[in-house]
Amino acid sequence: MNGRTIGSTAGRTVGAGIRGLIYMIIGTVVIGLVITLATAAHVWAYARQDDRAGADTILVLGAAQYNGTPSQWFAARLDHAVELYEEGVSSHITTIGGKLEGDAYTEAEAGAIYLRDKGVPDEAITEVNEGMDTLGSAEAFAPVAEDNGWERVLVVTDPNHSLRATNMVGDQGVDAHASPTRQGPAVSSRKEQLDAIIHETGGLLYYRATEEGGGDYTVDES
């Protein structure tokens, strides 16, 4: 075997290695794209589910509040919970969410005040004054549900947040189902909904990958 043959063989080996690497990169990108698109489609489809079967409690995930007054985003969730309550879907509503440093009220307290103003009696409301993000709220709710013997829970949040939120609550051992809002800023425009789908897709993929992440979708809740 002469030098030219050795060089040719080495060149083919290197070329094959480079092609293999390129194919692997392309394959990884394609698989990642398929998974991302499938997840986005799941987020979109789940946002349109509305489970109104009976539940032991309606869990309203907190959002911004201003000195005890819920933001438009939060109020839309609370209004939907009142609708479900009045329809007899559940005789109980749970508000959840903590507070930032300097706040006078927790999100749960602000939500409970709003519900009372809408005619929901005190005995039909439970406040869970913990949780500054979806995962934290899910973790805070689980022991409360266990203590109260709640088995089937209806999660109320924004439509495109519904899949991730219900997954997180369900992952705490709660039988969680979804009835997302149908009004308010979260559904005010196609751009708002598209932005939410994009963010929630990333958040859900991250949560599934880490089983502990999936940072919340930050919005202007004024």
- Sorting pLDDT into bands at 50, 70 and 90, what band is 69? very high
Q: What is the pLDDT of residues 176-216, one digit of tens each?
A: 999 999 888 877 788 888 888 888 999 899 898 887 544 44
pTM of the model: 0.82
pLDDT for the residue 113? 98
* 37-61 pLDDT tens trace: 988 998 999 999 899 989 999 999 9
Number of other residues whose CB lies within 10 A of the CB of residue 91: 14
Tens-digit pLDDT profile for residues 120-131 = 999 999 999 999
Quick one: pLDDT at residue 214? 42
- In whole angstroms, give the CA distance from residue 121 to residue 206: 39
- Full set of structural domains in the chain with CATH: 57-210 (3.40.50.620)
Of 104, 100, 87, 4, nearest to 50 by C-alpha is 87
Q: How many CB atoms lie within 10 A of CB 182?
A: 14
